């Protein structure tokens, strides 16, 4: 007969001298990165991860974790192993020196010239 697993009805028979050992890596499911799209045409945004046994199951879980509330059009899941990432040791590649202002839009003061040109066209 089918027995209840509800702890209020039947307590699990756990031995008292249990030596808990940490799980080996393969005893745990892999993680999948979840990308959520609010409406068609929008970019998919990274929203978090789920644990799952396969990609299909990752989609099943992602829908409930991240698509349960608000607008949703589409979800992507990507096995975390398949994400190729930069390292934090190399974070200095994002640093930039202040004298390269010519590479930014703010480095160009052209409004005066534009206004002058507009004026000359009106005249």
Partner 1 sequence: MNVAAIKELLYKVADDQLVIGHRNSEWTGLGPILEEDIAFSSMAQDKLGHAQGCYQILHDLGEAEPDQIAFSRKANQFHNCHFVELPNGEYDFSLMRHFLFDHADQIRFEMFANSSFEPLAKLAKKVKGEIKYHVFHGNTWINKLSTANEVSHIRMQTALNESWNYALGIFEAGSFETELKNEGIFEGENALQNRWLEVVCPLLEKAGLKVPEQHTWEPVLGGRRGYHLAHLEALVTEMSEVFQIDPTATW
Q: Which residues bind partner 1 (CB under 8 A)?
A: 2-7, 29, 50-54, 56-57, 60-61, 63-65, 68
d(CA 94, CA 101) in angstroms, rounded, equals 15
Q: Nearest approach, Cβ of 20 to partner 1 (angstroms)?
A: 18
Nearer to partner 1, 48 or 108 (CB): 48
Q: Which is nearer to partner 1, 5 or 111 (CB)?
A: 5
Pinpoint the alpha helices (H) of the chain: 55-66, 111-122
Q: Is the CB of 33 or the CB of 52 nearer to partner 1?
A: 52
Nearest to 47 by CA among 39, 56, 38: 38
Question: What's the closest the beta carbon of residue 83 comes to partner 1, in angstroms?
Answer: 19
Closest approach, Cβ 26 to partner 1, in A, equals 13
> In the structure encoding, which two tokens stand for residue 10, read together?
């039947």
Quote the CA–CA distance of 123 and 120 in Å, as a whole number: 5
């Amino acid at each position: 007969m089918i027995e209840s697993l509800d702890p209020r009805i039947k307590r699990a028979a756990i031995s008292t001298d249990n030596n808990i050992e940490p799980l080996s890596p393969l005893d745990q499911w892999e993680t999948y990165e979840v990308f959520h799209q609010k409406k068609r045409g929008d970019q998919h945004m990274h929203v978090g991860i789920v644990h799952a046994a396969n990609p299909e199951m990752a989609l099943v879980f992602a829908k409930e974790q991240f698509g349960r509330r608000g607008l949703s059009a589409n979800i992507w899941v990507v096995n975390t192993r398949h994400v190729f990432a930069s390292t934090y040791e190399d974070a200095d590649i994002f640093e930039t020196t202040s004298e390269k202002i010519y590479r930014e839009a703010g480095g160009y003061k052209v409004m005066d010239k534009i206004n002058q040109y507009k004026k000359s066209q009106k005249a």
